[in-house]
Structure 1
């Protein structure tokens, strides 16, 4: 089982058209045939017709503020820009799951992502050698209007896929099992050397893209500098910048990983301590003393469940704020590294232009010195042979 998140989007109609029709070709951008579709199904929708599912999900996403108001919540908050989630589930070539088995896997994956109560469109394709199914889910809850948080969605699907393969009685991806065990232990994942520095979510967030950082511009006046010398100095400068940036960002990544492991360990200890303290009266009183609320004294003594759940929610909110602050700090460090190396690169370009101008001036001085040593050039006229005139030219000139 290989789950793959294709990404988030804005248009339900666009992704539904791709799933419900054949793959587009260069000549035909919007094919009308649907030969690769084996079967379709819906989840939590008032219709079983796949053609109407996209419109209903789009209407639900558009009515999110009204759903929040009807559920007793606030209509405020940032508007959800990408309500569409598109992912696929693929089986091995030697597996032959039927529709019932595929539907069971889809329900399990939706539950792992926390979308079991959300609207979804399921489309199974049979145009490849391996069976696979596409899932188009609506992130907006049809009852509360709130958007589902998809943090660590790939990790959730990875753990679910490992459990699914264990239920089937055969582990087909050993590396996934090793990586999940290392994640639980807080260790580094097993990756090939060229994959280790590529954490693309962090790359996009912290702008750690080495290939796009080079902004070499030519000198202001190319006629006054030696371009060969300028290109040579610029290449040396960029080589220094690229190597330094890679080392700096690798050091930041290692340090950030250690800080994240320490933060998760400390937060887990705080959660476990809260669970232990909430089981005894003395522990609940100690928590109440930190809360400083007289209204909760009786509830703390009786061990009221809603009060304990409120403490847990407050602790989770505090932990979310901690993670957000740590992520912002890492992003700011990465931007400082980028700004520092960009400043260094621009200074080296100025130095390259100065050195190239000096090379050009030196070459000009040498040429002038060479001309002075040769002395003034004396032009000796070469006499031209006398040209015949008149009748001697063979019929031109004087006429008779």
Structure 2
């Protein structure tokens, strides 16, 4: 079981249209077909029709102040900007849960999030090899009008998913169990940077997300090499370069955090200094000396607001250029790491192919009369990766 929170949103109609129809295509951004939808259901709604669920949930979100007043509370407070919660529950490919089992899991997950009394739309998809269900929940309580607090929602779903797997009798995501044990012990949970939800947009924008450097095709001439030996040698070469890539990106991420923190601190100090200097005549003249513009001298003496606003816009453009330059530098560092990884991996592939060819030649020379005292030394096989290849699953 892998729960995934897709995020918060403003439009119930938009996310419902995505879940209740087929995936959009480049030439058809609004498909009318719904072949991938297996079944749909609702929770705490006055309708069983999923097409009307989005409109009813939107009406409840708009009526939040009236609901607070009817419940005896204060209708004030800040308006909830994102009342939509969208998350999904995914089972493994070898599991075949029915509608009843999926509905039970959805109800338990809503209870884990504290949304058991809230409105929700449930849609099961059948377009992938692994069974999964989408849940669209309304954060506004239909009884009190208050918004649900979703602090540590991913952690709560992670703990619930661990309990769900234990109830099923098989732990499929061992890493999640270890991470929860570390959390209970008060220890830090270590994840690779591309698994972290924090700064995901920055990593993607700066090109710091690692790409797949491992190629899937085999050696050039498979008839002249020992394929079993080549696969093991290739796995060992990949393990070696992947460890170096993890270390390189971990160091880059640590350095990027420090540099971004220093940049934001310095830019904030410059903005505060500009605001402080623009309040006094001496400060405005000091800024004018930096600008060296006689045309703005009178405006600086009189303290014209449009002139001060122009200074702020110039400073914002300068800061934007600084941020773009720093992001570009981090992206170049990330691409340099990937380039070294590809070079080392290709070198390891050449060595693996040469070694597998020599192994094949030795087998052809010795044949069955090979001495039993001579053994073939092969690298230790690495663990297969991912649940699709029979390995360990990864927590999302």
Give TM-score scaled by structure 2 length: 0.53
Deviations along 1:71-91, one digit per CA (max 9) or x if unpaired, are 000010000011011100000
| Counterpart secondary structure, 2:124 | strand
Aligned residues: 232
| Residue 91 in structure 1 maps to residue 91 in structure 2 | yes
- Picking from 198, 201, 213, the partner of 1:200 is 198
Per-residue displacement from partner, 1:238-285 (whole Å, max 9, x unpaired)? xxxxx9995484599xxxxxxxxxxxxxxxxxxxxxxxxxxxxxxxxx
Distance 1:334 1:89, change over 3 A: farther
- 1:11 to partner: Cα distance: 0.7
Tell me, yes or no, if structure 1 residue 336 matches structure 2 residue 334.
Answer: no
Task: Describe the shift of the 1:83–1:62 C-alpha distance in structure 2 as closer, same or farther (beyond 3 A).
Answer: same
SS at match of 1:39: strand
> Helix, strand or coil for the counterpart of 1:13?
helix
Corresponding position of 2:58: 58
1:43-90 CA-to-partner distances (Å, cap 9, x unmatched) read 000111101111100100000000000000001000001101110000
Q: Is the 8 A contact 1:175 1:190 kept in 2?
A: no
In the alignment, the residues of structure 1 paired with residue 255 and residue 29 of structure 2 have an alpha-carbon distance, to the nearest angstrom, of 45
- Which structure would you say has the larger Rg? 1
2: distance between equivalents of 1:119 and 1:199?
A: 27
Deviations 1:159-178 (A, max 9, x none): 11001000000000001111
Aligned ranges 1:208-223 → 2 under 5 Å: 211=206
Pair 1:40–1:209, CA change in 2 (3 A) = closer
Q: RMSD of aligned C-alpha atoms?
A: 3.1
Aligned with 1:130: secondary structure? coil
- TM-score (ref. length: structure 1): 0.53
Counterpart-to-counterpart distance in 2, 1:61 and 1:100: 29
In the TM superposition, residue 130 of structure 1 has moved relative to its aligned partner by 0.3
3-state SS, counterpart of residue 72 of structure 1? coil
* Contact preservation (8 Å) 1:16, 1:54: yes
- Aligned partner of 2:126 in structure 1 is 126
Q: Which has the higher contact order (CA 8 A, sep 6+)?
A: 2
Would the alpha carbon gap of residues 73 and 38 (structure 1) be closer, same or farther in structure 2, given more than 3 Å must change? same
- Tell me, in whole angstroms, the C-alpha distance in 2 between the residues paired with 1:208 and 1:72: 46
Task: Give the gaps of 5 or more residues in structure 2.
Answer: 208-250, 271-317, 326-396
Cα distance 1:338–1:94, how it changes in 2: closer, same or farther (>3 A)? farther
Contact 1:249 1:334 in 2 (8 A): no
